[in-house]
Chain A
Amino acid sequence: METELNFLSAGDQSLVIELGKSIDLELNQKIRDLTSSIEQKSIPGIIELIPSYRSILINFDANVISIPKLKNLFSDLYLNLKNAKLPKPKTIEIPTLFAGKYGPDIEFVARNAKLTIQEVISVYTNNIYPICMIGFTPGFPYLQGLDQRLSTPRLKTPRTSVNPGSVGIADNQTGIYPVKSPGGWQIIGRTPLKLFSPNNKNPFIFNIGDNIKFTSILNEKEFSNIEKNMNLIEENEI
């Protein structure tokens, strides 16, 4: 493990910790661990952290804490990362209805992979996908761990509107659209789960570093049953 962190200057109230310049699962776990270890410490003056694939942006209040002090604190935490007691990543199951009208691009993905649609579903649901970053739109998870065979280029012309819950593939990345937005990813299915509920106490169901496990929903009836249950849960939470 490197003993020194690489700090990048980012203005008078932000600071970047960079751990590397590549997309790498091990690197991303370190980002995740360092992020939770900083958050756990609740250092006065730190407003929030934005972890991404290989770096963390720290926003702080310069009236309360200085950059040299932050650098010392982070270096100490990094050195002691191995001994830190951090919350274990969760694995979140995402029931998904693949193919048909909810997964209009799965045929293209299958042809591209020289697999049948059934094989695509079975390969896709077989893997566990760690969340490396959340961004783009509220709650959009960038997932690692796509089977090489399913790697598919983006749509030539992006859709102006992709429905919430859509599960997509872009090259070797995969992810889920939490809200309606434009998008160019190949859509292979849709989950009835609500990934973003702004009025809930916990608006999001997962965090960076958590794992996603997709399961296959049999039919539209099951899809709408889960959807109804979700709405009930939400009403109770509010």
Chain B
Amino acid sequence: MTQNVIEILDGGLLTTIQDTGRFGFQKFGIPVSGAMDIQSLKIANKLLNNPINAACIEITVIGPKIKFLKDTFISITGANISPKINNKKTQMWQSIKIKKGDILEFKELLDGMRSYIAFVEGIDVEKIMDSRSTYLQGNLGGFKGRKLESGDILKSFKNNDDDNNMHLRKYEPLVYGHEHAIRIILGPQNDYFPPESISTLLNSEYTISLESDRMGYRLNGPTIKHIDTPDIISDGSPYGAIQIPGDGIPIILLADRGTTGGYTKIATIISSDLTKLAQALPGDILKFSVITIEEATKLIKSESQYLESYQEFTNKDEDTIFNIYIDGELIEIIDDTENLYGIKEKLSPPTITKSINAQTKIPQSGHNFDFEIEITRKQSIDEI
């Protein structure tokens, strides 16, 4: 059974439905698609105790505006695009309780490139070739094969009515930054390049160009020369392959990559670093280094363990949230009272005395309680 869960009020830049990907049809020319940042999608699902491959919403740089049509839980992971519920900053990397009528929107991009919203039991759209992922170029899968637009109403699978007894979970937030150490394994066609070209790749800084999308990222940086030809007889394209066409400009093949291609591939990015790429913006710096397959495999296994590293917390904890405002601007959310005293340290140095409006929910009552705290910071001799 399914229920309407959200209405899209504004689609944002590129908001699509994705799961872990469409497998088994690449030999017929169908790209895998799926979340660009599989790790964040899996974490988002794990936060709601969903099947790991449940369909989520993938958001790109500019988030959508979403109205909830039922009481439910969601989770938001990946890039920090300042998510707000009913105009109040909301936490990422944890389960969030939602009331019917709540409005979720996203403001400025603070870190990363793509966010994921998971819904209890996952979004219900028709499976096309075993997957709910949107393949944009093929107009296939997801919601009508396209990005989400205002007016779209999405369903999610119905879970039991004991939503309120759900185990709430949280993870340590991940941060991405703008410089990314990317580890690679040479091959499949590294023998088409002279040693100088390999060292160019490993010793240069590359930046992600504006010609980058879900199919692949074109890089800016020193060109990479072939020994002879850049062409091969077309063969399969691995996820994360670094393809070098005749002009020597590297292209990294990503989620919506064509299944086959006729250009040499100098190296392949390790699976664990594909998350960094999915969260890298045009202009971000990439530095490549080589690691062994054994090391890369260990990283894959520790990533699987990381998925089990969530902490559980109860609804009650969630109610003791302090929103700290200074001059009307929300500066901090503190989710336990002890940390409230830490606020002093977080005020910027010129602040000597400030009146702070704080807000808390009284546990179980559902009411908000506003109060003011006076924080006085001792003037140091230097400042006088």
Q: Do A and B bind each other?
A: yes
A: residues with CB less than 8 A from B are 8-14, 16, 21-23, 35, 47-57, 59, 62-63, 66-67, 133-140, 142, 179, 198-199, 203-204, 207-208
Does B304 reach chain A (CB closer than 8 Å)? yes
Bound form: Cα–Cα A8–B271 in Å? 17
Chain B residue at smallest Cβ distance from A200: B129
**Residues 147-191 of chain B, each 1 if its beta carbon lies under 8 Å from chain A, else 0:** 000000000000000000000000000000000000001111100
B1-47 at interface with A (beta carbon < 8 Å):
23-30
Contact B29 A11 (CB under 8 A): no
Does B138 reach chain A (CB closer than 8 Å)? yes
Bound form: Cα–Cα A136–B258 in Å? 7
Bound form: Cα–Cα A50–B28 in Å? 8
B301-356 at interface with A (beta carbon < 8 Å):
301, 304
Does B220 reach chain A (CB closer than 8 Å)? no
Q: How far in angstroms is the closest Cβ of chain A from B62?
A: 29
Contact A134 B29 (CB under 8 A): yes
Contact A11 B185 (CB under 8 A): yes
Does B206 reach chain A (CB closer than 8 Å)? no
- List of A residues within 8 angstroms of B235 by Cβ: 16, 50, 52-55, 57
B280-296 at interface with A (beta carbon < 8 Å):
293, 296
Q: Which of A10, A49, A56, A138 contacts B30 (CB 8 A)?
A: A138
Bound form: Cα–Cα A62–B185 in Å? 15
Q: How far in angstroms is the closest Cβ of chain B from A19?
A: 11
Contact A138 B138 (CB under 8 A): yes
Does B222 reach chain A (CB closer than 8 Å)? no
Bound form: Cα–Cα A23–B232 in Å? 11
Contact B233 A8 (CB under 8 A): no
Does B236 reach chain A (CB closer than 8 Å)? yes
Segment among B112-120, B210-218, B237-245 that sits at the interface with chain A: B237-245
Does B249 reach chain A (CB closer than 8 Å)? no
Q: How far in angstroms is the closest Cβ of chain B from A6?
A: 10
The 5 closest A-B CB pairs, nearest first, are A57-B236, A11-B268, A9-B187, A50-B236, A135-B260
Bound form: Cα–Cα A52–B261 in Å? 10
Given A53-B234, A198-B140, do A67 and B27 touch, yes or no (CB 8 Å)? no
Q: Number of A-B pairs whose CB atoms are under 8 Å? A: 134
Given A9-B188, A10-B268, A22-B233, do A134 and B27 touch, yes or no (CB 8 Å)? yes
Q: How far in angstroms is the closest Cβ of chain A from B323?
A: 41
Number of interface residues of B (CB under 8 A): 40
Bound form: Cα–Cα A55–B27 in Å? 12
Contact A134 B271 (CB under 8 A): no
Does B259 reach chain A (CB closer than 8 Å)? yes
Q: Which of B24, B236, B260, B300 contacts A136 (CB 8 A)?
A: B260
Q: How far in angstroms is the closest Cβ of chain A from B175?
A: 24
Contact B239 A13 (CB under 8 A): yes
Name 29 A/B residue pairs within 8 A (Cβ), A-sorted.
A8-B187, A9-B185, A10-B185, A10-B268, A11-B269, A12-B270, A12-B293, A14-B238, A14-B268, A16-B188, A16-B238, A23-B233, A47-B23, A48-B26, A50-B26, A50-B259, A50-B260, A51-B27, A51-B236, A52-B236, A52-B260, A54-B233, A62-B300, A62-B301, A136-B258, A138-B29, A138-B140, A203-B25, A203-B28
Chain B residue at smallest Cβ distance from A199: B128
Bound form: Cα–Cα A49–B24 in Å? 8
Contact A11 B239 (CB under 8 A): yes
Contact A66 B188 (CB under 8 A): no
**Residues 355-369 of chain B, each 1 if its beta carbon lies under 8 Å from chain A, else 0:** 000000000000000
- List of B residues within 8 angstroms of A136 by Cβ: 29, 258, 260
Given A11-B238, A198-B128, do A204 and B28 touch, yes or no (CB 8 Å)? yes
Q: Which of A8, A67, A139 contacts B29 (CB 8 A)?
A: A139
Q: Which of B233, B241, B297 contacts A52 (CB 8 A)?
A: B233
Q: How far in angstroms is the closest Cβ of chain A from B188?
A: 4
Chain B residue at smallest Cβ distance from A9: B187
- List of B residues within 8 angstroms of A139 by Cβ: 28-29
- List of A residues within 8 angstroms of B185 by Cβ: 9-12
- List of B residues within 8 angstroms of A49 by Cβ: 27
- List of B residues within 8 angstroms of A13 by Cβ: 239, 271, 300
Given A12-B268, A14-B239, 8 extra CB contacts under 8 A: A9-B188, A10-B265, A47-B24, A50-B236, A51-B236, A52-B234, A59-B26, A136-B29
- List of B residues within 8 angstroms of A135 by Cβ: 29, 234, 258-260
Contact A138 B270 (CB under 8 A): no
Bound form: Cα–Cα A28–B138 in Å? 28
- List of B residues within 8 angstroms of A11 by Cβ: 185, 187, 238-241, 268-271, 296
Chain B residue at smallest Cβ distance from A53: B233
- List of A residues within 8 angstroms of B187 by Cβ: 8-11, 16
Q: Which of A21, A51, A66 contacts B297 (CB 8 A)?
A: A66
Bound form: Cα–Cα A66–B297 in Å? 9
**Residues 181-210 of chain B, each 1 if its beta carbon lies under 8 Å from chain A, else 0:** 000011111000000000000000000000
Interface core residue of B236, B271, B301 (most chain A CB under 10 Å): B236
